Chains A and B, each alone.
Chain A
Amino acid sequence: MSFLMETRGLCRYFGGVKAIHDLNLEVREGLIQSVIGPNGAGKTTLFNVVSGILPPTSGQVFFKGAAIGGTAPHRIASMGVTRTFQNLQLFSDMTVQENVMVGMHLKSRGGFFTSALKLPLVWKEERRIREISAEILDFTGLGKYASLIAGSLPFGRQRVLEIARALGSEPQLLMLDEPAAGLNNRETSDLSELIGRIREKGITILLVEHDMDLVMEISEHVMVLDQGQKIAEGNPELVRNDEKVLKAYLGEE
């Protein structure tokens, strides 16, 4: 069976710290999968390596069979992999809609020359970008905030905007890094519903999340990391009752 994304013997060390060590992990197409684990288990490092922000120390990452480890982020993005950030990385001086328009960078072509001269192909493209980004904002429930400055949005909406912006690039694999962190119950349930609708569009979702209720509710497959290695995986029910997981993460009752 081939996977949408997989890591083989992946290692990422920071000096003597083995953030990820000999990690083999598979992501199946079309599912919502979660990576959980205690703090320092290597979840965010995994995202950083897969998205190209950090090169692997050794081992390899494959996306649709192609090795992408150590490739520049924009190249990996152009293959259909994008992510959100746990510590928000919005373009906070730009409007909400402009954030999504940047997200559509890969879906448009205008360069320095054509943009400076504002050739017809540029303004046609610009109109298309506006329309589609407005649709994405409606899809994520941010439509009425379109012209606001992103930094002025309430925190919960900023989290959703990170996702909306990522959707602009029409990814095949969307990695969400703790999207529920800092959200209240109402916002979290909206988020869970949004993630479900994104999956219905055929986008594979890899989720890192500390909110166990959310993870257990929406995940179809859960992988548990501890000290940079995968210690268990399976459906939420299976993982919830796994001895090693209880010991490493959920605590013994």
Chain B
Amino acid sequence: MRLSGAVKNPYAGFLLFSLLVLALPLVVTNQYYLGVLVIIAIHSIIVLGLDLLLGYTGQISLGHASFFGLGAYLTGVPSAHWQWPPLAGLAVALPVVAAIAWVIGVPTLKLHGHYLAMATLGFGIIVFIFFNELGSLTGGPSGLTGIEAMNLFGVTFDSDREWYYLAVAFLLAVLLLSINVVRSRVGRALRAIHGSEAASGVLGVNISRYKVGIFVLSALYAALAGWLYAHYITFISPSSFTFMFSVKLVTMVVIGSLGSLWGAIFGAAILTSLPEILYVFHSYETLVFGIILIMVMIFMPRGLLRGIEDLIIHLWHKGLSSFTRAEGEERP
């Protein structure tokens, strides 16, 4: 009955989705649209991690823009200043971000309540200040130029088409890992923590360990996305990694559908492409954007993906019942 990505077997859904996105460049050939799709894929990687944290485990982070930024700067700075290859940057970015997330997560996730949200909020602001003030390394507010283009094992990625396939490859890999996690002992433990901490505790789930684990994993996703972003745009500035962007990432999860990986990608796609579509509204863009968010929250509180699903099921049943009435059958 549920439509969202073959609930019974998400791997069938994964296969279908893979074929779909891999075939997309056959239809979309415009450079600009391909570029938007690359950004959607990069955002989706962050939002998948955030959904594991927020949608599945029920923990809010308001600092994922800074993990994204750290991923970008930790590869961007050595690339621009010392011509490090991208993979070397990744080898630095991932462990450093994981360590930082662990240090934030361990004390805050032991406590009950929204301490993680507060800690990550503060952390995001601190990181933002560092990006701005460490001018000699980061280029300060005007940004960091001269980041090398992506080069993996001797293959350089220049065109948007090549980049599309690269970004999609990483997105699919992250999606597959996430599906595996969700459908495992770990995923069940995370959902159990969300459902009832008391019950998961007495069944032997080490609550703080799982919360920290999923927080670190989601920070790693964001760092990976930041690494891709830095080498795609080859220019980064602090304005891309603000508190507002952290909020936007959370919004993508909520709008898409909490606790649905497909919803996360859907949310990232909608909220990333919406500004491009809303461009016609010029200065009213923010207003229209806000109205759309409010409408979704009022009429589809379970998120757009599940909302549309519910709507289709509703219309289907309505169609069926009007059909049976037309047949003249008695209704119960």
User: B187 within 8 Å of A by Cβ?
Assistant: yes
> B246 to chain A: closest CB distance in Å?
24
Q: Which of the residues A52, A129, A166, A168 comes within 8 Å of B201, measured between beta carbons?
A: A52
Q: Which of the residues A82, A101, A118 comes within 8 Å of B188, measured between beta carbons?
A: A101
A77 touches B201 (CB 8 A): yes
Q: Given A98-B188, A115-B186, A115-B187, A82 and B198 touching (CB < 8 A)?
A: no
- CA A51 – CA B204 in complex, angstroms? 11
User: A73 within 8 Å of B by Cβ?
Assistant: yes
Across the interface, name the chain A residue whose C-beta is closest to B214. Answer: A112
Taking CB atoms and an 8 Å cut-off, the chain A residues in 62-99 that contact chain B are 72-74, 76-78, 82-83, 85, 89-94, 98
User: A189 within 8 Å of B by Cβ?
Assistant: no
> B110 to chain A: closest CB distance in Å?
10
A72 touches B201 (CB 8 A): yes
Q: Which of the residues A76, A91, A129 comes within 8 Å of B191, measured between beta carbons?
A: A91
Q: Which of the residues A98, A112, A166 comes within 8 Å of B203, measured between beta carbons?
A: A166
B195 touches A90 (CB 8 A): yes
B184 touches A94 (CB 8 A): no
Residues of A within 8 A of B185 (CB): 101, 105, 108-110, 115, 122, 125-126, 129
User: B217 within 8 Å of A by Cβ?
Assistant: yes
- CA A117 – CA B186 in complex, angstroms? 12
Stretch with Cβ within 8 A of A (4 or more), from B61-69, B142-150, B205-213, B285-293: B205-213
B204 touches A116 (CB 8 A): no
B202 touches A116 (CB 8 A): no
The tally of residues in B whose CB lies under 8 Å from a CB in A reads: 29
Binary interface profile of A, 167-190, with partner B (CB < 8 Å = 1, else 0)?
A: 011000000000000000000000
Residues of A within 8 A of B186 (CB): 110-112, 115
B196 touches A169 (CB 8 A): no
A91 touches B202 (CB 8 A): no
> B10 to chain A: closest CB distance in Å?
12
> A184 to chain B: closest CB distance in Å?
25
User: B189 within 8 Å of A by Cβ?
Assistant: yes
> A107 to chain B: closest CB distance in Å?
9
User: A53 within 8 Å of B by Cβ?
Assistant: yes
A105 touches B195 (CB 8 A): no
Q: Which of the residues B178, B194, B203, B259 comes within 8 Å of A168, measured between beta carbons?
A: B203
User: A56 within 8 Å of B by Cβ?
Assistant: no
Across the interface, name the chain B residue whose C-beta is closest to A165. Answer: B203
A102 touches B192 (CB 8 A): yes
Across the interface, name the chain A residue whose C-beta is closest to B182. Answer: A115
Q: Which of the residues A112, A125, A169 comes within 8 Å of B217, measured between beta carbons?
A: A112
- CA A74 – CA B205 in complex, angstroms? 6
User: A106 within 8 Å of B by Cβ?
Assistant: yes
> A150 to chain B: closest CB distance in Å?
9
- CA A156 – CA B206 in complex, angstroms? 29
A169 touches B181 (CB 8 A): no
A106 touches B203 (CB 8 A): yes
Across the interface, name the chain A residue whose C-beta is closest to B191. Answer: A94
> B247 to chain A: closest CB distance in Å?
25
> B203 to chain A: closest CB distance in Å?
5
Taking CB atoms and an 8 Å cut-off, the chain B residues in 76-117 that contact chain A are none
- Residue among B187, B198, B201 with most chain A CB within 10 A: B201
A102 touches B188 (CB 8 A): yes
B181 touches A112 (CB 8 A): yes
- Residue among B186, B188, B200, B217 with most chain A CB within 10 A: B188
> B191 to chain A: closest CB distance in Å?
6
A122 touches B205 (CB 8 A): no
B181 touches A116 (CB 8 A): yes
Across the interface, name the chain A residue whose C-beta is closest to B177. Answer: A116
A94 touches B192 (CB 8 A): yes
User: A103 within 8 Å of B by Cβ?
Assistant: yes
Taking CB atoms and an 8 Å cut-off, the chain A residues in 104-137 that contact chain B are 105-106, 108-112, 115-118, 122, 125-126, 129
Residues of B within 8 A of A77 (CB): 201-204
B189 touches A102 (CB 8 A): yes
Residues of A within 8 A of B187 (CB): 115
- 10 of the cross-chain contacts (CB-CB < 8 Å) are A73-B201, A74-B203, A82-B204, A85-B199, A90-B195, A106-B203, A115-B184, A118-B180, A118-B184, A126-B185
Other A-B contacts than A94-B195, A105-B204, A122-B184, 13 sampled, CB-CB below 8 A, are A53-B201, A72-B206, A76-B202, A77-B202, A91-B195, A91-B196, A94-B188, A101-B188, A106-B204, A109-B185, A116-B178, A117-B180, A168-B203
Interface residues of A (CB under 8 A from B): 51-53, 72-74, 76-78, 82-83, 85, 89-94, 98, 101-103, 105-106, 108-112, 115-118, 122, 125-126, 129, 165-166, 168-169
Interface residues of B (CB under 8 A from A): 177-178, 180-181, 184-189, 191-192, 194-196, 198-207, 213-214, 217, 259
Interface pairs A-B: 8 shortest CB-CB:
A73-B201, A115-B184, A91-B195, A106-B204, A77-B204, A89-B199, A89-B196, A110-B185
